[in-house]
Amino acid sequence: MTFLIFPDHATGSRLAESVGHSPGAQVLSHPVSGRPWLIGQLPAKALTVHRGRDRCLVTVGVTAAPADAQAELDRLSAPAAADALARRFPGDRHVLLSMDGLVRAQGTLSSTRQLFVVRYDGVDIAADDPEPLIQLTGASLDEDAIPTRLLAPWTPWPFTDQVMWRGIETVPMGERLDWDRSGRSRRTRWWSPPEPELPLEQAATATRAALAEAIQVRAAHTDLSADLSGGLDSTSLSFLAGRHQRGMILTSWEAANPADEDQFWAARAAQQLSGMHQVMSLQDAPAWFSDLDGHGELEGPFAWIRTRGKLRYQAELLASRGSKLHLTGHGGDELYTATQLFLPALMDRPLRALPYVKAYRAVHRWPWRETVTELNRSESFANGLRRTATLLDKPIEQYLRKPEFGWGIGYRMPIWSTADGLEAARRQLHRTADEDPQPMSPHRWVHALLQDVRLCGDTIRRVSRWTERSGVAWHAPMIDDAVVEAACSVTAWDVAMPDRYKPLLAEAMRGAVPDEFRLRRTKSEYSADVYAGVRRMRPQLLELCEDLELARRGLVDADRLRDLVIRPPQSSFAFIPLISTLAVESWLRTVDSGSAPKSAPNQEQLTRQGGLG
């Protein structure tokens, strides 16, 4: 599903007419003027339209309209007044409004429904996918953005909101686009994270209500299937979805480690659910790293490149069994896992915080002196980026061995980065720090949570675009707007202690998920799958090392990367940078294969003019 949004303006109308309409494309017009507004693939089941005399509200995605939506629309005095109404559409959707020549558009907090925008020929054009904007404008690749995409364990915010193509911008979390009658837009904030002050019981009630609604709206939309890995996240979604659709397909992957206990818990949960439990075997399914070729996606590196082949296999299997929408528990780790980044939030009451500090120190074996020093260090977000730049060449295996209570988990460049690649990443960090960006929340743990939610949503959007080719959309209900807001609202004191596993989700699922699953305190890890994938795909990985686009750009030393493939390290942490490296390499092969636009943008037409905000 891809669509373009045009302003209610004569130039917008002309540009809309110049866009070639693909087979099956639909055109929705602005009320009153009749100019083109939305053009794209808009399946009827994913589209709801509410019309008034001089206004029209559209949702694209999976949602349910509130009963009084039409009455609320009729009462609106201006598009800017639609925040409350837009928030009442649950699920995974864009909300778009055209009214008396003015236009507004917003996606989701997580970016599962994202907006991209470019200023072209004096007006702003938006889309849910940057590719049509790249093609429309002939945008050129931003080479300076590549080095930070090599950072591990993942690219930090705000670089994740940076589009890889010049002149195209993304709409940040909690902001929308508002067009005036000149055809130009500005970004307007409609959401900010709540203060984290709710006690666990109240936040759990809000979480349960939000998750229940997220599942209900999807179950009413189409036939579902669901992951059932055995962990708390997927198990919770499976039990909630089982209340609405009996006989769902529940999918699990056979683990490379025969001692993996998640498999036991998945089978046990499946016995209590009414669905068919489909265990996908290692022998039949593609291995990790089995699908590294470029596939024509220009947006940017695909974070789940390691399992892209497995995703296609799973989607084809589910489609053959009748599923149209697949539920995944991704987002649960991001929202509910306690990390050391909670500790700075507790330091205003140091005596009460002492047991928490002792617990984390025991888990990670931190020295007392370094722990106290780090807890007493206060830094702005910009200075945090500068400090990150000094740590990029440290081994990634060390990033949890020393206390780091900054604005995110310590980021590292791969050890196979060249000196030029390392320096390029540092320049980007310093350049961004000099712009003094403000964090998404003044609380470090909330900022980190929102950053990770944003990363998760971006990935799920890209995954779904990939799996929809096989006929099955991928959804992560745990990162719906209302669920994210509930997770941000809980007080750190109630969820920070590492001796409880995902306490907010566990409390929210009281009575919905049997206690044997809800209160489970163990969790499997999947390093065996990484080693097995590298071993099985070693010939293909070595062949890739012979002709690296990243090496041609001077960012990666192919010999050092080849050494990792030939002699896998003892610590699986060393493989984390491999994933980001392969994601960038695969994407660059798409860009360099000729799929990217050949022409440079007309700078008189394409200009950021200080940004679109």
Residues 303 and 297: their CA atoms lie apart, in Å, by 13
> 157: which 2 tokens?
């915010």
* Distance in angstroms (rounded) separating the CA atoms of residues 237 and 328: 8
More confident position, 359 or 20: 359
pLDDT (average), residues 555-561: 95
pTM to 2 decimal places:
0.92
Question: Would you tell me how many other CB atoms lie within 10 Å of the CB of residue 446?
Answer: 23
Amino acid at 355: P
Q: What is the spatial order of strands in the sheet that 26-29 belongs to?
A: 26-29, 36-40, 3-5, 123-127, 116-120, 168-170
Confidence grade of residue 179 (pLDDT, cut at 50, 70, 90): very high
Nearest to 129 by CA among 587, 462, 606, 466: 462
Closest CA to 391 of 342, 429, 436, 446: 429
pLDDT higher for 315 or 524?
315
Which of helix, strand or coil describes residue 431?
Answer: helix
**Mean per-residue pLDDT, 514-543:** 85
Percent of the chain with pLDDT over 70: 95
Q: Averaged over 514-534, what is the pLDDT?
A: 84
450-467: average pLDDT? 95
pLDDT value of position 44: 79
| Backbone region of residue 493 per phi and psi (left: phi > 0; alpha: psi in -120 to 50; beta: other values) | alpha
pLDDT at 102 over 70: yes
Task: State the average pLDDT for the chain.
Answer: 90
Sequence letter at residue 396: I
Read off the DSSP letter of residue 277: E
Question: Is the predicted pLDDT of residue 333 greater than 90, yes or no?
Answer: yes
- Among the residue ranges 256-260, 369-373, 545-549, 609-613, the one predicted with the least confidence is 609-613
Looking at residue 602, what is its pLDDT?
42
Q: What per-residue confidence (pLDDT) applies to 187?
A: 96
E runs forming strands in 448-498: 473-475
Q: Taking a C-beta distance cutoff of 8 angstroms, is the pair 327, 391 a contact?
A: no
* Position 286 confidence tier, pLDDT thresholds 50, 70, 90: confident
Provide the 8-state DSSP code for 80: G
Three-state DSSP class for residue 413: coil
Percent share of the chain, pLDDT over 90: 70
Spatial CA neighbour of 410 closest among 383, 391, 426? 391
**pLDDT confidence of residue 601:** 40
* Tokens 């004096």 belong to residue: 122
Residue 612 has pLDDT above 50, yes or no: no
Average pLDDT over residues 189-210: 97
Alpha carbon dihedral 552, 557, 559, 565, in 10-degree steps, equals: -110
